[in-house]
Amino acid sequence: MTDFNRRHFNALLGATVVAAGSAGAESHGGGTVHEVQMLNAHPDDRSERNVFLPDIVRAQPGDTIKFIATDRGHNAVSDENMTPEGGAEFRGRINEEIEITLETEGTYGYYCQPHRALGMVGLILVGDASVNFEEARAARQRGKAEERYEDIFARAEEMLAAEA
């Protein structure tokens, strides 16, 4: 796929996530469980390496994010520079499936520790994501993470605008 087509696909995927409520989500107890796969390659574009799928999750306070170690060699770690004040931080071990319940509204950035510079990053938007959206967007990134976050934040902005 060309960059244009990949961006177009990702935009459509983001719109589909909003329309469906959230891909890979199921309701339980106090909230919804959103599943995020940790993958060596995107299933629809094998050239897109080291990815979280989906890379944007729209959640509400009390929802749980479940990171699934679909492929080995990955983990999920919250970015302290992209966590709202009072928000939960998390750090999974390599190959570990973890669940985190988020109560604090805002924008949460996260990454795979060994593959961060290769662009394995993602975003969770909880309730009123505007609480720290611009601060999270301005957080300094390295390597391919910067490029991927530009795309992710652009799609997140579109998702939030569609809700308004």
Which residues sit in the known binding site for Cu cation?
A: 74, 112, 115, 120
Angstrom distance (rounded) from CA 31 to CA 127: 12
Structure tokens at 44: 């629809």
Structure tokens at 29: 């107890």
Are 24 and 54 in contact by the 8 Å Cβ rule? The answer is: yes
Structure tokens at 144: 């391919």
Q: Quickly tell me which residue has 């309701």 as its tokens.
A: 27
Helix (H, G, I), strand (E, B) or coil at 73: coil
Are 73 and 114 in contact by the 8 Å Cβ rule? The answer is: yes
Q: Check residue 14 and give left, alpha or beta (phi > 0: left; psi -120 to 50: alpha).
A: alpha
Angle at 129 between CA 85 and CA 146, to 5 degrees: 85
